[in-house]
Amino acid sequence: MYFPFRTFFALACAQFLIHGSSADESDESVRIPPPNSDTTDLKTLRLVQVIFRHGDRTPVVQYPKDPLQDESLWPEGFSALTKKGKKMQLDLGKYLRARYDGFLSRAYKPLEISVQSSSADRAIMSALANLAGLFPPTEEDPKSMWDEDIKWQPIPVHTLTDADDNYINFKAYCPRFKELKEEYIRRSEFAIGVNSDPANQELYSFLSNHTGWDVKDFEQVSDLHDTLLIQSNYHLPLPNWTHEVFPERTGKLFDLPFDTRVQVPTEEVQKVKCGPLLRRLVTNMDAARDSSSGSGKPNKAKMYMYSGHDSTSSILLGTLKVFDTQFPAYASTVLLEMHELPDRNNNSDYYLKVFFRNSTTVPPFELNIPSCGYPCRLDTLKESYKNIMVDGPEWRAACEKAS
């Protein structure tokens, strides 16, 4: 699944029209983003941060009455990156090389790039496949040609334990978020409206009878649809009952867990869920800005890469208020570029440009953060999200139960 151009372009324009007045209207830098493009201005680029979802995978969820529960049906096993998924990430790495060649050295230099992944095998393998495309061995870099039979060089990928992961796969313990999730996915006005709809009630009952689950909400339907979709894509025989509801009826609820009214509906949810990630991204930009301007320590970092999951990108984009309610595609990618540009007084300043690549058939969409104007001045972004960017003790305090 991908974002149609018309959907994202309309969304970006609507956000500009609705929110653009929050910026100084006399500021000539406030514009609608230009048409999407596979290129960027390397002369003004100072840092790029890449957040992507892993590639194509096998099913994560098996329902009790699933006749296809035998893991031997999947050579890679459950929850695993497939051959297709590896190729997706290899191609994404090649795309990143083409886009940033001339900014990021062709030879792997440890100080130029930092790569982090969640602990999930499919995310780690995605990062490795991506790096194979980004840094292929070349004769220009003799140290990369270490074996004549293997056209690959090892690039380090750093991983997080689930207990420490509060910014890629969001597995770190946060009891307050569990309370908020229960509230917004089941008890919010939006959720109640969806779950109490007579047609959905009938669907839940039908699925409960056939799956062995006690289906009560759209999140369960979304999980089921994901499993059926993967099985269908790999030409496995689905049970006859699925033809009555899949893919049309289950598909209508598939995207809803990623609706911003459910995933990041309030500032408190954004703080406990996206606060650590956003703070890390901004800290990286601050360090690059200080190094570039000469006001801080020298910093050779040019790219930070985060190999994650559908929720990683959707939560970030939802918090920035630039996300449409759609399931992020495999290998979908958020590009955060920091550029040094002249302000309206012709003084250098630092700006963030946000791109989303949710399809290999069209270039990335450049997005306009409503509270920041276009292009988004880094200091304006920090001011807009200062109450959300938390980590460490502050994040742990925010994660304490309300009662």
Q: How far apart are CA 158 and CA 57, in angstroms?
A: 21
Spatial CA neighbour of 322 closest among 308, 336, 339, 303: 336
> Chain-centre distance of CA 139, in angstroms?
34
E strand intervals along 99-227: 113-117, 158-159
Number of C-beta neighbours around residue 61 at 10 A: 15
**Which of the following is catalytic: 121, 141, 290, 310?**
310
Q: How far apart are CA 366 and CA 281, in angstroms?
A: 18
**Which of the following is catalytic: 54, 210, 309, 339?**
54
User: For residue 14, what are its two tokens?
Assistant: 């609507």
173 Cβ contact partners less than 8 Å away, ≥ 6 residues apart: 163, 399
Helix 121-134 and helix 83-100: axis angle, to 10°?
40
Q: What is the helix (H) or strand (E) element at residue 270, kind and residue range?
A: helix 267-293
What value does the CA radius of gyration of the chain take, rounded to a whole number of Å? Answer: 22
Spatial CA neighbour of 224 closest among 2, 60, 1, 56: 60
Active site residue 310: yes
Q: How far apart are CA 320 and CA 401, in angstroms?
A: 25
Dmax (CA) for the chain in angstroms is 67
**Pair 152, 161: CB distance under 8 Å:** no
User: For residue 118, what are its two tokens?
Assistant: 């969640």
Active site residue 162: no
Number of C-beta neighbours around residue 393 at 10 A: 8
End-to-end CA distance of the chain: 40
Enzyme catalytic residues: 54, 310
